[in-house]
Chain A
Amino acid sequence: KAGVTQTPRYLIKTRGQQVTLSCSPISGHRSVSWYQQTPGQGLQFLFEYFSETQRNKGNFPGRFSGRQFSNSRSEMNVSTLELGDSALYLCASSLYGQWETGELFFGEGSRLTVL
């Protein structure tokens, strides 16, 4: 079956702009989690959505937001981009959620560069 699909794979933005990233989970998976990965901080949890509801949120400013649609596809948005937002944004899906299983299926990520 198809894996987790993230679009776009690469993008370049300038400070102050906003960006929207998309994630299509594995068919049948209802949970989508987002992570930010940087060389210095590793994988940091942004938020988790399950059945269109945000279940958990990491320690990121309000400029980072997300949503999940009825088909389980998810989007995350970053407004007023800062240089420090340059990172690989990874989406992961699971059947029920991190709490229930812990086995996450990751997409290949969207690499954001902020200039």
Chain B
Amino acid sequence: GQNIDQPTEMTATEGAIVQINCTYQTSGFNGLFWYQQHAAEAPTFLSYNVLDGLEEKGRFSSFLSRSKGYSYLLLKELQMKDSASYLCAVRDIRYSTLTFGKGTMLLVSP
């Protein structure tokens, strides 16, 4: 099976930078995704990594190290609206579906 670990909760201050880590164990890795889910809303796609390195998209960046089974989502210049749950998901070539971690609840305070 697959195992995906993320911290349950994180807190940060408006304007700061926060890094949300995700570790995974899977034999047939074929891509890692980050989704954002605000309370009582649908998850929305943030980023996708399949090769090692950093993908930057505005205030959000995502990093992947396949050899370490590790990814992080970096949020810069935090805003109150960034308070949400951040879901790490892994695609495995054997299952051809996305498996999600339990999510990291980020609370941004003034």
Contact = CB atoms under 8 A, between A and B. Distances in A.
Interface residues of A, number: 25
B: contact size bracket? 20 to 34
A108 B48 contact: no
Given A42-B87, A108-B42, A33 B100 contact: no
Interface of B: 31, 33, 35, 40-45, 48, 87, 89, 91, 95-103
A33 B87 contact: no
A45 interface: yes
A82 B97 CA distance: 26
Given A102-B89, A106-B43, 5 more contacts: A4-B42, A43-B103, A45-B98, A45-B100, A102-B91
A58 B92 CA distance: 13
A41 B99 CA distance: 12
A106 B103 CA distance: 16
Contacts of B42: 3-4, 90, 106-109
A75 B88 CA distance: 26
A98 B33 CA distance: 11
Interface of A: 3-4, 33, 35, 41-45, 48, 55-56, 58, 90, 97-99, 102-109
A71 B19 CA distance: 42
B102 A41 contact: yes
Nearest to B31: A102
Nearest to B87: A43
